[in-house]
Structure 1
């Protein structure tokens, strides 16, 4: 065959194919007679499945197909006697005149449970919650959704053999009536069987202690989900899966198979950052999440910055609830030397904490005993050493909607520590503190309020270590002032400047701050703040005030916050820039 003839035939074929496609693309329906948007949307969705052009609508076959398609679209809403007329307007639009007629209504509902579910009150209540009653319009979605919902309920409550023995819709179109039949075969209700571990035998004791159910207890998916949650929350494992093995059930007892993998024996973390208060800083952290088969864990941290160097070590011993009830032994050494204070201190601390928290509760209790031995130098006085042994108690409340980008959160913590001369302490001392932070967001508007108060009662304040005294000022206190800038001052001799005044620490602390932020872009907020507060021995001086604008960048590692702050006080009126990384709670 000549090449030219072949090309002509191919072009003609492509033309015949493309013309109907073009007609189809231009075909639009105007639907009349339908007042319900949901119905109309469903009709249009079904019509899209028709591969038809406008020219074909003159064919009775395609008119019948369009009418059938509309009928199929409205039947799930109870309209089984609809009719559709097709006409073309002068402007070429295709108009569908739909007459729905009266919907079918439920005239009879027959339900029955066969099996153990018949004696289960919750199973019966769920089964009897079928939403369609006599006189209701027959809605297929309600009917099908109930069947799926009932099936899921049965599986989640241990009825693993559940099936629908009979389901039927009898439609009497002429009478606009529908009869519904639902017969459920629940089968037996299965129970929790033995818990078995795949490998990692040393975790067996921990797994048993976290198990929220007992052998023979009726199975529920919620209990199994709680088991998974507890195992994952321990911090011991990198992967945990707890699942029922129905195929290995002994009678009605289903074994629970645990597959888990431990985290690496040792975890190391290096953090480099900067803040206005400390300047550049380095943080090295080591963690051993699994010390022995009792679930003990240990960690240590080294912190280095120009004014502060510290090393701390923690050893955790789980008690009743592994995650929410444990003993924590702490040891630490800290050296502080801030340019804006006249205090140097070296602190050795040892403490033991009993921390308890109910499952899913935001409240946490911290019972503690802290031994503190601090060598410090205040003003131009000789160095001295104070030893304190202080039992204490703290109560904390924390709720937040996100780990990093918090839009709604509440934090509260209050605590008290007491030391008695002759019982491990060099002086009598009582220290009480309370702190609160509240974050709320409405649309693009974000509000935060924070406050902190504290008081020290002692028979010899000059012997109170510098690390125990109160200071205000800095990124997390009164912005517009340096870290620990706000407190009673003491005189110290500087070889170059002579006698200068620097912060010496206070008996009392009171601060409050408010901040408003508005989201100006997806990851940016503009902010403004007002902070007021003081650290004082007598409340005779006026409080310091910090005010200014700021900006938040919602980075992948948490919010980065910048503030330009003016500080006003009896001793200083100046400005400074504050920079912080991380969430407020």
Structure 2
């Protein structure tokens, strides 16, 4: 308890000073708070009026009033953290023209939860979101009575009920009984769940397509599936991913709910129909270059898409055209037809190829599954060996990614699996079978750091390796492979010591990033692996440091790396990568 005698002496001294100094006397105020740290200290200082007057001029009477209110303010600030028996001892000192409020806080033992009585009237058992919200409720028995955790948990249960279709759920009882003498608290909560609603009709407004076309994006069956907030978010994400709309807002019409059905209102605004893109870029694998493109987001009322893109860089030039036909259904089903001309000139190979592609893509158990047919023809030169090839081969791939934030994930991963095969008996110059896997994993470490791991695997069986074009051979080295080695300079070599590519690939990388500001950070990394054939695996290791910039156009990575433990390779390689993490 604050001793009024100390306050009285300070005021008496201040009064004498006031008489000597005249009516304009004022002093500055400072606070010395002891006995608290971390969030408790921050909460106490935020509540203290004394703190708000720090370094401001106050009169002796003002200083006394502020000081006398300090005890109650500190006690009120700590109650939400479970401290109901807080004592404050202090003194208001004056030295010259400065008042110093010295406050020593003894927080005592926290009030702990003795019992949690959480009841939901209604048939809600077995509903995952509700069960999880109940199981995660805090504070638990034996824990300090944290009011913020209590309010968050209470809101989570209410949100789980609403998000699971209980749109009329009411929290009828919400009471916390605190016994200060025993430092114990009982929590009483009771909800009345009410009726569980199902999805009703979906009404679209403002879009450029018919309701029949839009129905392919709805992930539920009206009148059958229970309302789910997760399904609603999935629906909205599908509309956004379709790339037809500038605005896609999805809301339940709670006021219009009747007979156990809740209508869904969708507000749409068409995106710009034709988009032109262009710009310059730089990449250490491709060299500097320019790119441009035309995207027709919908060609007709059936939502067909058309896209052209051209890229011209120092070591790579491509021209690509893609025509997409979306199909009815809830799995983003589409037929895709494409053509790509590719002219590439690297340190190890040169090639000019034309690829024609026809495939079927859809969402399958959460994965993007693509099944198609490729026709590849062209000329190439690897080391000093020139060749030409024609290949007709089917291909299947599965891709999935998950991230808490696609622009800068702190928890995320991606995985792509692919397989392709061709046969000499079916319009191919060589028989081959190939499988590949690419993975990336990101985890935040504390508030300012991330750990990033990635890996690539590949395996090929081929009857005539010399007829396999460079883009179907495995090379290592480069920005997204083993940094410290130039692009595609790691792999099996011929008798002239030229890299010719391999049948197998193993690459792994570990990277640590630390951000010293919101948009700037540094990285340290180690990459390793090899492209090889048969049992001739020769581990290559590259390590280095880099700079990270979260720029307006995406993540920019600038790395310096060097080979480690390789007597045939040395020096420092510069690597520049611009683009998303996943």
Correspondence 1:552 to 2:558: no
Correspondence 1:508 to 2:503: yes
In the alignment, the residues of structure 2 paired with residue 393 and residue 373 of structure 1 have an alpha-carbon distance, to the nearest angstrom, of 20
Aligned equivalent of 2:359: 353
In the alignment, the residues of structure 2 paired with residue 451 and residue 249 of structure 1 have an alpha-carbon distance, to the nearest angstrom, of 51
In the alignment, the residues of structure 2 paired with residue 442 and residue 344 of structure 1 have an alpha-carbon distance, to the nearest angstrom, of 43
Q: 1:283 aligns with which of 278, 291, 307?
A: 291
Change beyond 3 A, Cα 1:147–1:332: closer
Aligned equivalent of 2:480: 476
Change beyond 3 A, Cα 1:144–1:17: farther
Q: Which moved more, 1:195-204 or 1:85-94?
A: 85-94
Change beyond 3 A, Cα 1:353–1:18: farther
Superposed CA deviations along residues 412-471 of structure 1, whole A, max 9, x for unmatched, are 44433221223222332223434455556656574645444332421x333333443343
**Which ranges in structure 1 are unaligned for 5 or more consecutive residues?**
1-11, 492-500
Correspondence 1:465 to 2:469: yes
- Structure 1 residue matching 2:282: 3-state secondary structure: strand
In the alignment, the residues of structure 2 paired with residue 155 and residue 281 of structure 1 have an alpha-carbon distance, to the nearest angstrom, of 52
Correspondence 1:202 to 2:199: no
Q: CA deviation at 1:337?
A: 3.8
- Structure 2 residue matching 1:202: 3-state secondary structure: coil
Change beyond 3 A, Cα 1:26–1:289: same
Correspondence 1:423 to 2:426: yes
Q: Which moved more, 1:147-156 or 1:235-244?
A: 147-156
Report if aligned partners of 2:340, 2:355 keep a CA contact under 8 Å in 1: yes
Aligned pairs, number: 545
- TM-score of the two chains, using structure 1 as the length reference: 0.70
- Structure 2 residue matching 1:422: 3-state secondary structure: coil
Aligned equivalent of 1:527: 524
Q: Superposed, which structure 2 residues align to 1:159-238 within 5 Å?
A: 159-160=166-167, 188-216=195-223, 217-238=225-246
Q: 1:243 aligns with which of 241, 251, 270?
A: 251
In the alignment, the residues of structure 2 paired with residue 481 and residue 165 of structure 1 have an alpha-carbon distance, to the nearest angstrom, of 66
Q: 1:565 aligns with which of 540, 562, 570?
A: 562
Report if aligned partners of 1:233, 1:323 keep a CA contact under 8 Å in 2: no
Superposed CA deviations along residues 450-495 of structure 1, whole A, max 9, x for unmatched, are 444332421x33333344334344333444544344456679xxxx
Change beyond 3 A, Cα 1:129–1:428: closer
Q: CA deviation at 1:559?
A: 2.8
In the alignment, the residues of structure 1 paired with residue 497 and residue 181 of structure 2 have an alpha-carbon distance, to the nearest angstrom, of 96
Q: 1:582 aligns with which of 568, 578, 581?
A: 578
In the alignment, the residues of structure 2 paired with residue 163 and residue 101 of structure 1 have an alpha-carbon distance, to the nearest angstrom, of 37
In the alignment, the residues of structure 2 paired with residue 278 and residue 473 of structure 1 have an alpha-carbon distance, to the nearest angstrom, of 13
Q: CA deviation at 1:543?
A: 3.6
Superposed CA deviations along residues 185-241 of structure 1, whole A, max 9, x for unmatched, are 666554433211112251523432222333334434333233222222322222111
Superposed CA deviations along residues 85-142 of structure 1, whole A, max 9, x for unmatched, are 99878999779999999999999999998xxx54555799889999899999999878
Change beyond 3 A, Cα 1:87–1:196: same
Q: Superposed, which structure 2 residues align to 1:55-454 within 5 Å?
A: 55=61, 118=122, 120-121=124-125, 152=159, 155-160=162-167, 188-216=195-223, 217-319=225-327, 325-338=333-346, 340-341=347-348, 344-358=350-364, 361=366, 363-376=367-380, 385-396=388-399, 398-399=401-402, 402-403=405-406, 405=408, 410-437=413-440, 442=445, 444=449, 446=451, 448=453, 450-454=455-459
Q: Which has the larger Rg?
A: 1
Q: CA deviation at 1:306?
A: 3.3
In the alignment, the residues of structure 2 paired with residue 369 and residue 231 of structure 1 have an alpha-carbon distance, to the nearest angstrom, of 28
- Structure 1 residue matching 2:231: 3-state secondary structure: helix
Superposed CA deviations along residues 143-181 of structure 1, whole A, max 9, x for unmatched, are 877876665555445555555678889999999999999
In the alignment, the residues of structure 1 paired with residue 145 and residue 541 of structure 2 have an alpha-carbon distance, to the nearest angstrom, of 66
Q: CA deviation at 1:558?
A: 0.9
Q: Which moved more, 1:343-352 or 1:122-131?
A: 122-131
In the alignment, the residues of structure 2 paired with residue 136 and residue 408 of structure 1 have an alpha-carbon distance, to the nearest angstrom, of 29
Change beyond 3 A, Cα 1:161–1:97: same
Q: CA deviation at 1:261?
A: 1.4
In the alignment, the residues of structure 2 paired with residue 569 and residue 176 of structure 1 have an alpha-carbon distance, to the nearest angstrom, of 67
- Structure 2 residue matching 1:427: 3-state secondary structure: coil
Report if aligned partners of 2:204, 2:267 keep a CA contact under 8 Å in 1: yes
Change beyond 3 A, Cα 1:376–1:255: same
Report if aligned partners of 1:544, 1:568 keep a CA contact under 8 Å in 2: no
In the alignment, the residues of structure 1 paired with residue 515 and residue 114 of structure 2 have an alpha-carbon distance, to the nearest angstrom, of 57
Change beyond 3 A, Cα 1:554–1:27: closer
- Structure 2 residue matching 1:197: 3-state secondary structure: strand
Q: CA deviation at 1:551?
A: 2.0
- Structure 2 residue matching 1:192: 3-state secondary structure: strand
- Structure 1 residue matching 2:216: 3-state secondary structure: helix
Superposed CA deviations along residues 537-579 of structure 1, whole A, max 9, x for unmatched, are x666x84746453322324121322324359879x64535332
Report if aligned partners of 1:27, 1:53 keep a CA contact under 8 Å in 2: no
- Structure 2 residue matching 1:279: 3-state secondary structure: coil
In the alignment, the residues of structure 2 paired with residue 100 and residue 380 of structure 1 have an alpha-carbon distance, to the nearest angstrom, of 80
CA RMSD, 1 decimal: 5.5
Report if aligned partners of 2:113, 2:140 keep a CA contact under 8 Å in 1: yes
- TM-score of the two chains, using structure 2 as the length reference: 0.70
In the alignment, the residues of structure 2 paired with residue 235 and residue 241 of structure 1 have an alpha-carbon distance, to the nearest angstrom, of 14
Change beyond 3 A, Cα 1:290–1:271: same
Superposed CA deviations along residues 243-287 of structure 1, whole A, max 9, x for unmatched, are 123334445533221101122112222132223333222222322
Change beyond 3 A, Cα 1:167–1:292: same
In the alignment, the residues of structure 2 paired with residue 380 and residue 75 of structure 1 have an alpha-carbon distance, to the nearest angstrom, of 79
